[in-house]
Amino acid sequence: MQKRVSPRASLALEALSFRVQALRPFAIASPDYESLPGKKWTQIVARVSKSPWLHNGYCEPCGYPPFREAIANYVRRARGLNCAPEDVIVTSGIQQGLSMCAQVLFEPGEKILVEDPGYQPHRQALAYFGLRPEPVRIEEPGLDLEAVRSSGARGMLVTPCHQYPMGYLMGQKDRSGLIGWAASSGAWLIEDDYDGELRFDGAPHSALASADAARSSVVYLGSFTKMIYPGFNMGYLIAPKGLAAAFGGAKMLNDRHASEVHQVILAEFIAGGRYEAHVRRLKKLYKARRAAMIEAAQILLGRYGRIVSGPQGTHLAFQFSIPVDDRKLAQFLRSACGLELRTLSECCIARRDLSGLILGFAGFTEEQIREGMHLMAKGIERFLSGQGEGR
């Protein structure tokens, strides 16, 4: 008899199309020596490592208590989010937090709204766990609140402080409208705050969850991927009132617990004020790298399109104003120029009007950025003149 597998197996195979980027321009979240946490971090790591028999047993599924306390204090200061340590669930990152939301908050087959364009692996994860992602068009003026209200959806995944990939900031009208819709309809809002700290022209914008006064509608997902490094693999979920235990149980059933050693290290790094000092240093470093990329894009790529992203994060979105098959172009630039690029069209579900490139700048020096932009400009010129492979 022929063996059968779940229909979800095809979704799992499709997820592998989102390939890991090589550490070369213009990969996103690509760490370099200057962006690593530095001497204070390595001192803590070295000290903790001297007692390897400590903090290497099973950890509480919800997380190491001092780490949960450090996170609660930090998000209160930095993100305007009033929560208790007991509301914090330690995860392996935003992706796991999202998966736990799909399992705890929804029934299989229920509709959940996602941003269009949006982050491809996240909508794939929602579908994998049995939900029906439905796109909501996101543009610079905002989102269509009437479409949200009439959708009949049980929830929405949003990136309000730095929309991925376009970089828009959600306005106050849309924030209030979403909170009101969720409260009146019983829907859930899942806030992906993947780089909320990295605003370059002033204090960070407050989290959407901070506007949920009753703490009854928004699940907040945070991560240390952009601030520490992706290999650290640590994030957190802040549960609405009364749901922390359920999320803790979901963590237990998903992968039992996060590394307590990592939590001990990061708890000390945060509690001692070193994490926020590190973020301030990154903002200064990344602001200069971002400026170098924008200047090069204006000079070298201005005839093809424009940068549309806001003053935050670790990437910029370049939108073409001329017809370009951005996926074929990205493939050509990878093979012919040695550049790593994601595309805007890959982020879309229903939209067919977006063509462009997502350019990571955080892990590269200003010189590397300028050299890479020159290479890219020459590559685009070759591609558009018909010399690109597969054009």
Nearest to 97 by CA among 7, 226, 231, 194: 194
CATH 2.60.40.1220 fits 39-275, yes or no: no
Q: How would you classify the pairing of strands 218-223 and 188-192?
A: parallel
Domain ranges of the chain: 8-35+276-387, 39-275
Amino acid (one-letter) located at 138: I
Residue 390 has what pLDDT?
43
Residue 115 has what pLDDT?
98
Residue 54 DSSP SS3: coil
Residue 387 has what pLDDT?
64
Amino acid (one-letter) located at 110: E
Residue 294 has what pLDDT?
98
**What's the rounded Cα separation, in Å, for the pair 302 and 304?**
5
DSSP string, 293-348: HHHHHHHHHTTTEEE---SBSSEEEEEESS---HHHHHHHHHHHH----EESGGG-
Nearest to 111 by CA among 89, 78, 94, 136: 136
Q: Which residues lie below 8 Å from residue 47, measured CB to CB, with a gap of 6+?
A: none
Nearest to 271 by CA among 41, 66, 49, 47: 66
- What is 8-35+276-387's CATH topology? Aspartate Aminotransferase, domain 1 (3.90.1150)
Q: The dihedral of CA 207, 100, 269, 366: what is its sign?
A: negative
**What's the rounded Cα separation, in Å, for the pair 190 and 222?**
11
Per-residue pLDDT of the chain (391 residues; tens, 9 = 90+): 888 999 899 999 999 999 899 999 999 988 888 999 999 999 999 999 999 889 988 999 999 999 999 999 999 999 999 999 999 999 999 999 999 999 999 999 999 999 999 999 999 999 999 999 999 999 988 899 999 999 999 999 999 999 999 999 999 999 999 999 999 999 999 999 999 999 998 888 999 999 999 999 999 999 999 999 998 899 999 999 999 999 999 999 999 999 999 999 999 999 999 999 999 999 999 999 999 999 999 999 999 999 998 899 999 999 999 999 999 999 999 999 999 999 999 999 999 999 999 999 999 999 999 999 999 999 999 999 986 644 4
Q: How would you classify the pairing of strands 356-360 and 342-343?
A: antiparallel
Residue 31 has what pLDDT?
86
